[in-house]
Amino acid sequence: MEWSIVIDGFFTALEPMNVVWLIFGALLGTIVGILPGLGPATGVAVLIPLTFGMNPVSALILMSAIYYGALFGGSRSSILINTPGDGSSIAATFDGYPMTLKGQAGQAMSIAAMASLFGGIMAIFGFIFLAIPLAQFALNFGPAEYFMLFLFTLSAVVALSTGKMIKGFVAMFVGLAISTVGIDLQSGVHRFTFGVPHFTDGINFIVIIIGIYALGEVLYNMFPKKTDQQPKNQTIGSKWFTKEQWKRSLGPIFRSGPLGFFLGVLPGSGGTISSLLAYSTEKQLSKRKDEFGKGAVEGLVAPESANSSAAVGSLIPMLTMGIPGSGTTAVMLGALVMIGITPGPLLFENSPDLVWTLINSMFIGNLILVIINILMVGLLIKVLRTPANVLYPIVLVLSFIGAYTLGYSTIDFYLLIAAGLLGLLMRVLDYPVAPLILALIIGGEMEQNIRRASIIYESPQAIFFASPIATTLFGLTLLSLCYPLFVKLFKRKTRKGTGASM
């Protein structure tokens, strides 16, 4: 690795305009994350139009800053009002909110910010050493390997829809079906366009994403219990954590960071699983198990460190292979394509400056976020008091602007509304959204790759054994599909075991 490129990236990230975008994105992300109901995926989706017209480096810096800013913000609302901004902040409610009830909200927020900072930094170092080898490895991928990789990603995401795998498959096939709309690139045949010229290039998946996440979220928040959920007045207490708290946090932070990073790299696992796993691991290891759930500082810092590093880790498959591992990275992938950046192994060869500027900006961004989150606690709490009935109409307008700027057609508005209703129903009836979004994004590429591979290998079944990589990925796909079965069997065995011992 050429360190000069890394250093150049550091200085590019420090250019005044990039720092401005970084601070703006971090602040905006924090605000989006702190508002209950709006997570990083919604934040990035709604704010995509802001990046149009910007140079790719600044656009990427802004989007990433919004992403990890929203992750930071998500845990603020978990700590203060027991309402996670998104899935990855759920674990922060377990001990963060009890700390607030004990009058330690300020300490909880500052130590959570430090945990996120260290988690993020550990993951950035992981990124530096892992991303390039992975990108180089990805250069060996042909159509068969790519198809198998897409298949594995989808199966992993469906398998992780715990307890609702069948619904996960349904959602995945709906996403794939939407991806087939438009002109077939290899034959020129118009598929499912109904004579509408706007559909010739296919349905813009960002419109669907904005609809499902933003509009769906707004409609969901119109439920009676949601609008009644007003933040309570909280006393912040001391804004800085104690020496004793820091001492107790060090171990969990440094254990959970690497754990979160590796889970982040795997498709489908993302922030939620890594933070929950970090929490349960720390609980298992702790000598103060009984304090967990009552305001144990370890129970707060472990998930915070893990989800922050998972966020960085999840960027690796997205940037090196164009595989989004989570809903948020799927939105980011779409946004990157919109601004003219094609993620994949060649990105590291063709635009190393862009990649390393992004990595360095994440390092600087994490520091900025700590400053924002510790110094501006009072202001951020005021954001929490924004009435839902004022906030959500604004989100609706931003969603419409977002959809309009993607194709300058009001046809997208109808798609947006339909996707919003679909998102609402899927949420209420317990259908996972991530498989639909991922399938929608990679569906087109998946089809092109399997068709190219079938021409090369002359039969579709030969694709599965085209190379050791393809066969391994096929094996991993089968394993991931059997994973819920293994978990069930393991649970049954453990239950039997404990039953016997009792």
Partner 1 sequence: MHAVRLSMPLFFIVLSVAYGILILQLPQATLGDAMAPLYFPAAICVGLLLFSIIDLVQVMKKKEKAAPEDLLLLVRRSTLTTIGVIVVLCIIYTLLFEYAGFLLSTVTFLAALLFYLNGKTKWRVNILVTGIVSLSTWYIFSQLLEISLPAFGG
Query: Which residues would be at the binding site for partner 1 (CB under 8 A)?
Result: 49-50, 52-53, 166-167, 169-170, 173-174, 176-177, 180, 184, 186-192, 215, 218-220, 222-225, 387, 389-390, 392-394, 396-398, 400-401, 404-405, 408, 410, 413-414, 416-417, 420-421, 424-431, 447, 450-451
Q: Give the SS3 label for residue 227.
A: helix
Q: Tell me how far, at minimum, the Cβ of 255 lies from partner 1, in Å.
A: 35
Question: Virtual CA dihedral for 189, 190, 192, 198, nearest 10 degrees?
Answer: 160
Cα 359 from chain centre? 17
Q: Tell me how far, at minimum, the Cβ of 424 lies from partner 1, in Å.
A: 7
Q: Tell me how far, at minimum, the Cβ of 262 lies from partner 1, in Å.
A: 31
**Distance separating alpha carbons of residues 272 and 276, to the nearest angstrom:** 6
For residues 146 and 392, which CB has a smaller minimum distance to partner 1 in the complex?
392
For residues 212 and 296, which CB has a smaller minimum distance to partner 1 in the complex?
212
Q: Please identify which residue in the block is written with the tokens 């569906």.
A: 443
**Distance separating alpha carbons of residues 15 and 457, to the nearest angstrom:** 49
Q: Tell me how far, at minimum, the Cβ of 167 lies from partner 1, in Å.
A: 6
Helix count and strand count (H, E) for the chain: 23, 2
For residues 261 and 431, which CB has a smaller minimum distance to partner 1 in the complex?
431
Q: Tell me how far, at minimum, the Cβ of 499 lies from partner 1, in Å.
A: 25
Is residue 419 within 8 Å of residue 215, measured between CB atoms? yes
Is residue 341 within 8 Å of residue 355, measured between CB atoms? no
For residues 20 and 166, which CB has a smaller minimum distance to partner 1 in the complex?
166
Q: Which residues contact 388 (CB under 8 A, 6 or more apart)?
A: 37, 221, 226, 227, 229
Q: Tell me how far, at minimum, the Cβ of 170 lies from partner 1, in Å.
A: 5
Q: Which residues contact 417 (CB under 8 A, 6 or more apart)?
A: 211, 215
Q: Tell me how far, at minimum, the Cβ of 340 lies from partner 1, in Å.
A: 16
For residues 168 and 345, which CB has a smaller minimum distance to partner 1 in the complex?
168
From residue 473, how far is each of 153, 158, 263, 466 by CA, in Å? 10, 16, 17, 11
**Distance separating alpha carbons of residues 480 and 477, to the nearest angstrom:** 5
For residues 173 and 246, which CB has a smaller minimum distance to partner 1 in the complex?
173
Structure tokens at 29: 């992300």
Structure tokens at 265: 């790299």
Q: Give the SS3 label for residue 128.
A: helix
For residues 379 and 428, which CB has a smaller minimum distance to partner 1 in the complex?
428
**Distance separating alpha carbons of residues 268 and 158, to the nearest angstrom:** 8
Q: Tell me how far, at minimum, the Cβ of 15 lies from partner 1, in Å.
A: 20
For residues 162 and 350, which CB has a smaller minimum distance to partner 1 in the complex?
162
Structure tokens at 417: 């509304």
Which candidate, 116, 161, 153, 498, places its Cα nearest to that of 303? 116
For residues 189 and 502, which CB has a smaller minimum distance to partner 1 in the complex?
189
Q: Tell me how far, at minimum, the Cβ of 475 lies from partner 1, in Å.
A: 21
For residues 224 and 499, which CB has a smaller minimum distance to partner 1 in the complex?
224
Which candidate, 239, 171, 223, places its Cα nearest to that of 379? 239
